[in-house]
A and B are shown apart, each in its own frame.
Chain A
């Protein structure tokens, strides 16, 4: 089930600018719409929307605004990571990159958050990591 927009939408377009797959359309100051075929349920629209209740998540629950600085970010455990690149591929905004090698004695590359500002806190990297090497951590206010 994709996210949906209710009549409470004010058409501010904040979600349009953040949606990584261009699933949200609508005229400014009018109720917007999410294309269910495009929505990937990353939830960034819900976290971005300033009007509580204007966006419902995949279970029909009203989303609430969260300051971007408080969105959860991936913490990657190099000890558990197997350099498989799954997290990098899973990221819809491309904010993870692979390092150029861990150092002497270990020349595997490991993923790191290379573009923190771009991260939308969707947690897809953590969900898809087969060995649970990633935990999503929200910064403290």
Chain B
């Protein structure tokens, strides 16, 4: 009888051209689940501490979630893991689409690839039979072309592809890995790791059964959840979302947020539902984090209104096992009709190519979105690089001589597109910016580092820690810094973990906004809970937007027990999350990363504070918050290193 996982992993050595299957003991799944937990367990021991992230000793892993394919919902996430060339420490990236079940249908929970091939290759796994094939004809192709050519070449209907585009081939440290024509595992620079191995793609075609212990129980739980997911709250119009944002921004107090509201927004518009609302409420940084909502007011930000993007949506896009469908496939604006369609631009992409660079041309955002998807490039980092370059130009640090003649001024749409193309091609100034804003600043000097808004080299996403200090904390304290998908004060509210894990604090229903900025022990406990839960649901292969629905409605603990036959309590599952998080931090320590260096850029912490807008006068006491978080985790409060006692308690010193 199955336990939801496949119990096997595949190792590929591209240098030697060899394959090895390995049986994973049940105890490993009990301690780390699957997904990036399994990835951390495998990579911690096997990547030597001096391994060059872009060299043969780095191991790139593609891992599926424990719950993927069991009949559970929202569990179609796959993860890619390895040593990050951006941070020099633990790297992972998480993506939806169709690849996650395909890994398991080939008989594996993970596929791990080491070595470097002499020539471009792709890995084809045909129902458990691996083969390395020549990819010379694909090198230079974009992600969409590559996927289409490979599916044609394999000739099987159930073929799934994950590949790099030109960005990964050119070892851009902001390259990701794409599947399903443009959904990208974007962060940590793992596309460059794939490129360094000369591995263009992995191609999976399998039909193995995924067998949970009790599928009927999982289906019962899924049906119940689906009834909640399909409840639709009435939203009058896109413009209304902006006014709600304005109202939230002006109020001195705030209410605990229920994820059901976000679920409904995602269902109607996708992540773009937050575009204008977020700007208005101070959640989205403007003008490279220097401006405020007043610089990108309603009359300008209407270009990013969710209706603008919904109007072009031809069909909703659901990742595997998702009942919600926040994605969409859109037509291209006529000005940019060199491409037929694009995935609906996500919130992050809209805001980095919108407010962050002061661009008010929505059509160009569709185009930039498709350019990024086809290049296999992280749009957050690319936007961060462009905003950095514009500010350097505006301050005379870069001149037209440096920019190949581009007039890099705020909101200059044509220059922004031209620069994005140069970054993808690593051409001229694009070469300087193709590894993210921090690397560029280190090369330029002249105090330009002040304009590189990042944490540990990872460009910051479009959620402002000056509005929700929880974001600033997680940007600064996670083993993968600069992530908006792990925790925040808002996320703690929506996760509703206190309803299942009785030791966790329940937030006040209404609170004054000033209290968000008080760094206290309770906030550290909440943040640590977010991190643990995130690791747990990533191990299960579950989507953040599923987690937003709230632990009282989302039966993740019950699904896991039904899939595996275990009878673990929510507290025991949270300890698994704690173990994975601590192992990721230990990976960083092993590889010589100093956790203190992950602290987010001063500007993003409100140092100095903004002089206008919703976040006027706000700053974050990040040093105390980081120390409190580390201490809560049982890591040394001064250094962020997991203590021996903690490692022993979690069974990580064996």
Contacts and interface: CB of A to CB of B under 8 A. Distances in A.
B and A form one assembly: yes
Contacts of A128: 69, 71, 215
A91 B318 CA distance: 17
A133 B540 CA distance: 25
B73 interface: yes
Interface in A1-45: 20-22, 37-38, 40-41
Contacts of B223: 130-132
A82 interface: yes
Contacts of A124: 209
Interface string B311-331: 001111011111101001000
Size category of the binding interface on chain B = 35 or more
B257 interface: no
Contacts of A135: none
A141 B130 CA distance: 43
A113 interface: no
Contacts of B73: 84, 130
Contact of B127 (A38, A85, A101): A38
Contacts of B314: 100-101, 107
Interface in A68-105: 82-86, 89, 91-95, 100-101
Contacts of B230: 82
B421 interface: no
A127 interface: yes
A53 interface: no
A91 B158 contact: yes
B71 A130 contact: yes
Contacts of A89: 69, 98, 101-102, 105, 158, 320
B207 interface: yes
State the main secondary structure of chain A at its contact with B.
loop
B320 A38 contact: no
B316 A86 contact: no
Contacts of A37: 128
A84 B157 contact: no
Given A89-B98, A107-B313, A130-B226, A40 B318 contact: no
Nearest to B68: A89
B444 to A, nearest CB: 46
Contact of B320 (A85, A101, A107, A108): A85
Contacts of A101: 314-316
Contacts of A20: 207
Interface in B49-84: 69, 71-73, 76
Contacts of B101: 89
B218 interface: yes
A86 B229 CA distance: 17
Contacts of B229: 82
A85 B313 CA distance: 19
Interface in B289-325: 313-316, 318-323, 325
B156 interface: yes
Size category of the binding interface on chain A = 20 to 34
B209 A41 contact: yes
Contact of A130 (B127, B218, B318, B325): B218
A86 B71 contact: yes
Interface in B187-242: 207-209, 215, 218-219, 222-223, 226, 229-230
Given A130-B222, A132-B223, A84 B322 contact: yes
A21 to B, nearest CB: 5
Contact of B316 (A109, A127, A130): A109
Contacts of A86: 71, 320-321
Given A100-B314, A131-B226, A84 B320 contact: yes
B105 to A, nearest CB: 8
B127 A21 contact: yes
A82 B208 contact: no
Contacts of B102: 89
A130 B230 CA distance: 14
Interface string A99-141: 0110000011100000100000000100110111000000000
Contacts of B69: 89, 128
A96 B423 CA distance: 40
Interface in B515-545: none
B19 to A, nearest CB: 15
A115 to B, nearest CB: 8
A107 B127 contact: no
A79 to B, nearest CB: 11
Contacts of B323: 82-84
Nearest to A114: B157
Nearest to B323: A82
Contact of B72 (A92, A130, A131): A130
A109 B222 CA distance: 20
Nearest to A20: B207
Contacts of B158: 89, 91-94
Interface string B391-433: 0000000000000000000000000000000000000000000
Contacts of B98: 85, 89
Interface string B445-473: 00000000000000000000000000000
Nearest first, the 5 A-B pairs at minimum CB distance are A94-B157, A92-B207, A130-B222, A82-B323, A101-B315
Interface of B: 69, 71-73, 76, 98, 101-102, 105, 127-128, 156-158, 207-209, 215, 218-219, 222-223, 226, 229-230, 313-316, 318-323, 325, 328
21 contacts: A20-B207, A21-B207, A21-B208, A83-B316, A83-B318, A83-B325, A84-B320, A84-B323, A85-B76, A100-B314, A101-B314, A107-B314, A107-B316, A107-B328, A108-B315, A109-B315, A128-B71, A128-B215, A130-B222, A130-B321, A131-B223
Interface of A: 20-22, 37-38, 40-41, 82-86, 89, 91-95, 100-101, 107-109, 115, 124, 127-128, 130-132
Given A20-B207, A84-B321, 11 more contacts: A38-B128, A40-B208, A85-B319, A89-B158, A93-B158, A107-B315, A108-B316, A109-B316, A124-B209, A130-B218, A130-B219
